[in-house]
Structure 1
Amino acid sequence: MSLNNLDQLYRQVIMDHYKNPRNRGIVEGDAVTVDMNNPTCGDRIRLQLFVENGIVKDAKFEGEGCSISMSSASMMTQAVKGKKIEDAVQMSKIFSDMMLGNEIDDTEVDLGDIEALQGVSQFPARIKCATLAWKAMEKGVNEG
């Protein structure tokens, strides 16, 4: 697949998560709630995590922001549900490395749709948009 076609596919994946977000809403019952925002662009997120026995049983978000921040939140909540806390944090570190343009070992973990955000690393002003939900998740599992 040519780079242009791959770029177009990635844009479609991002827009799909933006227009049809997965896990948007509120976790019923006990949940860790983390509110974060990106003051430079106005993105804001409220992330809720239900963690039981060291496993993220549920993850949902609400918020407003650009297509990058909201699609990243959608992808992140999908990716961490059912994962051990340690695995979710490891995935966040891999995502952060990808955003910084560092070489990542994608055989270590399947990033799935998250790989569509790889191009964001070329736009430093947008990296905070993409990492907002991930930082909220790390904060949540460390508090919970």
Structure 2
Amino acid sequence: MSDLRELYQEVIFDHNRSPRNFHEMKDADHSADGHNPLCGDQLTVFLRIEDGKVADASFVGHGCAISTASASLMTEAVKGLGVDEVESLFEDFHAMLTDAAPAGRDFGKLEVFSGVREFPARVKCATLAWHTLHNALAGVRDTAKTE
């Protein structure tokens, strides 16, 4: 099990050091801001939706390793998904971090965050980008907060 935990940590560190889709998207048609006042994580999520699907996703901001890695992996995971699929993934991801992963859900690389549930304060770090994504999709102008 420690080998798996080490692999998960390496994936998180890799996405923190070299976040994917880390740029402001000039042609975004959806965006939202997020802030975790407890630890200072702050980000903006950008989306371009075409034909009811996420054609592109990116983010900018700063935060801890878990927050940055979560945003990076999230942007990779949602590309090509329908808006309803993204919302379902958000709900299942949140459940994985707070309770138990829904049976039958393949989280792919997002599985690296399953151990975060052991550290309740870090759940807010891992879910900030997702709450911000939800606000962007819903057109909510208020800043997403995990506090």
TM-score, with length taken from structure 2: 0.91
Q: Equivalences for 1:52-91 in 2 at 5 Å?
A: 52-91=50-89
1:98 aligned partner: 96
Q: Distance in 2 between matches of 1:136 and 1:13?
A: 22
Structure 1 stretch displaced more, 24-33 or 45-54: 24-33
State how 1:13-52 maps to structure 2 within 5 Å.
13-52=11-50
Distance apart, 1:30 and its partner CA: 3.8
Which residue of the partner structure matches residue 114 of structure 1?
Answer: 110
Q: Quick one: distance in 2 between partners of 1:119 and 1:85?
A: 27
Shift of 1:101: 2.6
TM-score, normalised with respect to structure 1? 0.93
Instruction: Extract unaligned runs of 5+ from structure 1.
Output: none
The one-character-per-residue Cα deviations of 1:91-136 (angstroms, maximum 9, x if unpaired) are 111100011032422x33x311110011111000111000000011
Aligned Cα root-mean-square deviation (Å): 1.2
Residue in 2 aligned with 1:129? 125
Aligned residue pairs total: 140
Counterpart secondary structure, 2:124: helix
Structure 2 residue aligned with 1:142: 138
* Cα displacement string for residues 22-68 of structure 1 (whole angstroms, at most 9, x for unaligned residues): 11001132421201100000000110011122111110000100000
> Segments of 4+ in structure 1 off by > 6 A?
none
Identity across aligned pairs (percent)?
39
